[in-house]
Chains A and B, each alone.
Chain A
Amino acid sequence: MRRVFLANNTNELWDMLRQYPEAAIYAGGTDLLVRMRKGICDPSALICLERMDCLKGVREEGDQIFIGACTSHTALLADPIVQRSFPVLAAAISRLGSPHIRNMGTIGGNIVTASPAGDTLPPLYILGAAVEIMSMDKTRRLSLADFIRGPGHTDLKPGEILAGVWIKKDQPYNIFSLEKVGQRKALAISIASLAALLRVSGEGIIEEARLAWGSVGPTVTVSKEAESFLAGKRPEPGALGEAARIAMDAVSPIDDVRASKSYRRLVSGNLVLRLGASVDGNSPQPAWLPPAD
């Protein structure tokens, strides 16, 4: 029999963690329970964070927004701050799993799983997100890019949990784009994805670009080179084509049962070509974007 504990607050949580240092913690369980069923891990006890209200919700603090780690994807999609300030994140979440997975799964779980295919990661990277990590006696903050060490690896130490994510409220971009390529439109693990934020001037010049690819490297792929190449250019086929070529060099995809390395590489570049359409107002959002339910 495996024991399952439900912590209601941090005091209870630290107690449980002290008593059962080998326990696995989980929030929605949509990653952990799948791994347990497959026999990849077999923790002796489980500590569930689902009832820890202090780890849930979205709030403003000065020029920053804090998103609690245990906030479900469904709650994030319905949150007015997320909708208004981080549409690129909302767009990514709307393609994550399916309604029932989004009801259970949390942003914290998605981050700590640190999958190359984690759908919230590319938008969080380009939004410059930082994570807040909590343990019994201290709280620390570091950038998401530093937190994620590799596939399935984070900087989380024993006794620490992820408390949430900090994102700067006013982002200097006026265009966003999010595209996920999967084997189907829901319940699909990403084969390649691109999250993009652009600041485009009234004259149609890209002043600043932030790009991040998912599923085409051990962690999120960014390319300073492609970003700086696009700065000062119009989002036209020529410039986008060159940025696409840079992107194809920047990614380091693998072959798996879902797709080949070469397909992933090609699509990583091709998605850049579509950025022009987002600037034109031809939203790249697929018509089947699920309703925020």
Chain B
Amino acid sequence: MKDTPLEIGRAAPRFDAYAKLTGKEKYASDFYAPDMLWAGVKRAGVPHARIRWIKTDDAIRIPGVLSVLTSKDVRGTNRQGVVRKDQPVLADDKVRHCGDPLALVVAEDRETLAKALASISLDIEPLPGVFDPENAMAQGAPLVHEENPEGNLLLKGSLEAGMGEKGFEECDETVEALFRLPSQEHAYLETEAGWAIFKDDILEITASTQSPFRDRYEAAEAIGFDMHKVRIIAPYCGGAFGGKDGITVQSLLGLAALNNPGRPVKMWWAREESILASAKRHPARLYYKLGAKKDGIFHALSVRIYFDTGPYDNLGGAVTALGLEHSGGPYRIPNTSLKAWAVFTNNPIGGPFRGFGVPQVTAAMEQTVDMMAKSLGISPLDIRVKNALRRGDRNPAGTTLTGSTGIGECLRKISASRLWQESETWKKASPPFKKRGAGLASAMQGMGYGPLIPDTANAKIELTQEGLFRVFCGVVDMGQGNASTYLQIAGEILNQGLSGMELVLPDTARTLPSGSSSASRTTFTYGNALITASKTMKKRLLERASDLLMAKGPEEMTLVPGRVRHIPSGKEMPLSALAGILSDAERTSVARYRTPSAKDSPTRDPNLSLHGIPHIVFSYAAHAAFVEVDTLTGLTEVKGFLAVTDCGRVLNPQIFEQQIQGGIAQGLGYALCEELKTDRGVIRTPDLGTYIIPTSIDLPDMESAAVELHEEMGPFGLKGAGEIAMNGPFAAVANAIADACGIRIFEGPMTPERVLGALEKKPSCQEEG
């Protein structure tokens, strides 16, 4: 079984499953050593304040406390961030949200650490805060970053196509709405964790991270240490979803280790600390206006989006830009005026989260589409099919679609499905006090970093002396299974089974820079690089073996598991023997791949291009939700869910299915129960007992199908599948609730309380069909 050559397209259990299930796989949080120290952080607890004094003398006197550090001990820039470096490692002048770190303590054990943290007192002067993104832009609003020339504005973007707003003059029908979407917590199983050691002049940091190579230079610069002496090791993450795309524990661990040379230091955030300090999905306010002709053809769209990015950039500008670019959905709309603002507030930090701004805009756009369908009396399916983008069209952001564009096929597959066909009958059979409805949503997700930031991966593969192929994976597997897929890709090309392969997980000292595990780019970009590296390796091995076996040429040779064979004679040579003959240089092969960028320039704003607009490769999906609403409690139960995805060729159906189901689950949580509640910047849902994620029995059976269009640029025809499934569920459920009871909940999540409130305001619901 383990010797069967890996093949593209074959469903196979993931390579990491056994080690993870048996607990053999070590995550960053699993590290322990006898001489290990614990590091922890004192956090602000208030949303906005000036720091006068941090009193640490009591803490340092506690036996077992090794260091108590504040911003004064940070020798570097003390600023972290990817685009804008504005987030301190340890807050210096100001507190900008409740989770800001003020002091770092290193102690012999956790009890001492807790005692020391509790003994630190803060002398801080509270400042008036801003907690609403629209108010934050008003004249005279308190400033989160006084030095920012644009006040509380992080990024403003606008895209205009055709006649823009003027397009509405030619429309027969217009619908408008305001949608409010909540902040969503990543809630990964493994909270932020890692350990570091400073030894032999090397600072080694092992962290649960999505971006080891970027972390390396970001942390080095922030704490003032030579980047070339920093090594970052990135084991599998126990979940990340974007929340570990950037610095969490890395700089703090670096500081702690530099101050305690020779001893390993561990940091592992408690769940409450993780919720307090980590970045979340941006809460958003979205004003939508859609215009169409009588026949349902979309003609104009105007959108204003406000993303609350909290106090720091944390890729919030890039998230906002991606939201802006996707705000019109996968439709042909000739006249668009799309605007978005990312605004600083003293709320928790907004940051990357699966979908990266697209779940918010899809929730709004797809509901607006249904509202249009309803006012024109066209079915929600027909209106989507009519307007669905095709290859060669310009999308609402103005980009020409040169790649595979399968949204039409996705919708047609929904309409042909058994679930959809039987939904009318199913709806009519609803039990007493229940209303049933079906709802649709279309979605798209751009792949990669966009035009300016090089979206590059460097793959490396080695034939070891033992005759195994070792794949050096430079991009993190945060649980999505990409590392498994890399073995599959190399195995397919080199005709090897799992037993003939080895994997090296990201490590800045061993693997090559390949960007972050994010943006639906991970397998696309690294996979393309690995194909080239593997093919080069194969060619070289066949050539060298053909010479050694005195064959006519490499065309007579083939690779079989563990060996190379001369086909005409049947003579074989073990790969280990071949490896023994080759030089070190011959045994390795490296290749680089950079994703091409779109040739359109829908914006002249260089800042928008820097933040990623436009993209060129898009995945698509159509989702259908089947819900039952309880008219006595307002509870919405999702009874069935169907997702049809166009993410190109599916390399491993099992891993694909896992991504789709996981995305739907997270999307349904977003739609129905997940809401990070705050009151003037203070989190009211500080733990997983109050922040409600769905359990397995809250989720329906999910059906998933793929429209396997071949994407020319993708490795073996693939496009990204990691994010797309997150985008549809919100609107599909909202539209199903509207179908069931004729109400629309404009504020998410659609909790029983909000649904019942809307039902109460609509007394006719009890009688209506």
A residues contacting B by CB (< 8 A) are 98, 181, 183-189, 257-260, 263, 266-267, 270-271, 273-274, 277, 282, 288, 290
Are B695 and A257 touching (Cβ within 8 A)? no
For the complex of A and B, 10 pairs with smallest distance between CB atoms: A270-B632, A263-B753, A183-B692, A186-B695, A185-B697, A184-B698, A257-B684, A181-B633, A185-B698, A288-B697
A96 to B632, CA, bound (A): 21
A187 to B689, CA, bound (A): 8
Pick the contact of B689 from A189, A260, A288 — CB < 8 Å?
A: A189
> B residues within 8 A CB of A185?
695, 697-698
> B residues within 8 A CB of A186?
695, 697-698
Within 8 A of A (CB), among B717-769: 751-753, 756-757, 760
> B residues within 8 A CB of A277?
432-433
Contacts known (A185-B695, A273-B632); A257 close to B690, Cβ less than 8 A: yes
A153 to B164, CA, bound (A): 65
Are B695 and A187 touching (Cβ within 8 A)? yes
Are A263 and B756 touching (Cβ within 8 A)? yes
Within 8 A of A (CB), among B669-693: 673, 677, 684-685, 689-690, 692
Asked if B140 is at the interface (CB within 8 A of a chain A CB), the reply is no
Task: Give the number of chain B interface residues (Cβ < 8 Å).
Answer: 24
Question: How close is B427's CB to chain A, nearest CB, in angstroms?
Answer: 17
Most buried by B among A98, A183, A259, A274: A183
> B residues within 8 A CB of A290?
697
Pick the contact of B433 from A188, A263, A267, A274 — CB < 8 Å?
A: A274
Question: How close is A70's CB to chain B, nearest CB, in angstroms?
Answer: 24
Are B756 and A267 touching (Cβ within 8 A)? yes
Can you name 12 A-B pairs with beta carbons within 8 Å?
A98-B695, A185-B697, A188-B692, A257-B685, A263-B753, A263-B756, A266-B760, A267-B633, A271-B633, A273-B632, A282-B431, A288-B697
> B residues within 8 A CB of A267?
632-633, 756
> A residues within 8 A CB of B431?
282
A124 to B72, CA, bound (A): 60
Are A183 and B697 touching (Cβ within 8 A)? no
Q: Is the interface of B mostly helix, strand, loop or mixed?
A: loop
Are A258 and B756 touching (Cβ within 8 A)? no
Are A273 and B689 touching (Cβ within 8 A)? no
Within 8 A of A (CB), among B510-540: none
Q: How many A-B residue pairs have CB under 8 A?
A: 52
Are B633 and A282 touching (Cβ within 8 A)? no
Question: How close is A173's CB to chain B, nearest CB, in angstroms?
Answer: 22
B residues contacting A by CB (< 8 A) are 431-433, 632-635, 673, 677, 684-685, 689-690, 692, 694-695, 697-698, 751-753, 756-757, 760
Report the nearest B residue to A290, measured CB to CB: B697
> B residues within 8 A CB of A259?
753
Are B695 and A184 touching (Cβ within 8 A)? yes
Question: How close is B436's CB to chain A, nearest CB, in angstroms?
Answer: 14
A271 to B756, CA, bound (A): 13
Report the nearest B residue to A184, measured CB to CB: B698
Question: How close is A179's CB to chain B, nearest CB, in angstroms?
Answer: 8
> B residues within 8 A CB of A184?
673, 692, 694-695, 698
Having A183-B692, A263-B753, one finds 4 other A-B pairs with CB under 8 Å, namely: A260-B753, A267-B632, A270-B632, A277-B432
> B residues within 8 A CB of A266?
756, 760
Pick the contact of A257 from B673, B677, B698 — CB < 8 Å?
A: B677
A274 to B434, CA, bound (A): 11
Are B673 and A183 touching (Cβ within 8 A)? yes
> B residues within 8 A CB of A274?
433, 632
A270 to B757, CA, bound (A): 13
A259 to B677, CA, bound (A): 12
Question: How close is A245's CB to chain B, nearest CB, in angstroms?
Answer: 14
A169 to B28, CA, bound (A): 55
A49 to B280, CA, bound (A): 42
Question: How close is B712's CB to chain A, nearest CB, in angstroms?
Answer: 44
Question: How close is B170's CB to chain A, nearest CB, in angstroms?
Answer: 45
Are A258 and B698 touching (Cβ within 8 A)? no
> A residues within 8 A CB of B752?
181, 263
> B residues within 8 A CB of A183?
673, 692, 751
Question: How close is B660's CB to chain A, nearest CB, in angstroms?
Answer: 22
Report the nearest B residue to A263, measured CB to CB: B753
Report the nearest B residue to A264, measured CB to CB: B753
> B residues within 8 A CB of A98?
695
Most buried by A among B685, B752, B760: B752
Contacts known (A181-B635, A288-B697); A282 close to B432, Cβ less than 8 A: yes
Question: How close is A244's CB to chain B, nearest CB, in angstroms?
Answer: 10
Question: How close is A99's CB to chain B, nearest CB, in angstroms?
Answer: 10
Report the nearest A residue to B677, measured CB to CB: A257
> B residues within 8 A CB of A273?
433, 632
Question: How close is B467's CB to chain A, nearest CB, in angstroms?
Answer: 46
Question: How close is B119's CB to chain A, nearest CB, in angstroms?
Answer: 15
Report the nearest B residue to A260, measured CB to CB: B753
A274 to B753, CA, bound (A): 18
